[in-house]
Amino acid sequence: MHRRRRRALVLKQAQLLQRSAELRVALAHQSQVLKPPLALADQLRVGLQWLSHLPVGPMVTLALLLTRPRRAWRSVSHVFLVAQQLSRAWHGLRGFWTRLTAR
């Protein structure tokens, strides 16, 4: 009696494991429909996190881009040019300092 019961339980366990595997495959197949909306939600979440970490300057620029695009592009180009000039000046100053302290 004990062996028969154990054998029945082992058989039932094997059947349940097989059914579980089939259900996992079916769920994976059916959930493919959710992939695009969930990917979009992830992108929106990442974008909002990025925006929340931005300082005020880029946020103002973004607002200008949305409200007055022509003026904003002009302002952005000016900021970009100033940033380039500052970068060049910094590299020049750093090189000058390196040569000065090497002596």
Query: For the whole model, what pTM was predicted?
Result: 0.39
Mean pLDDT of 30-51: 87
61-82 pLDDT, tens digit each: 777 778 877 776 777 788 888 8
Report whether pLDDT(52) > 80: no
Contacts (Cβ under 8 Å, ≥6 apart) of 64: 71, 72, 75
Mean pLDDT of 24-30: 93
The single residue listed with the structure tokens 């059916």 is 30
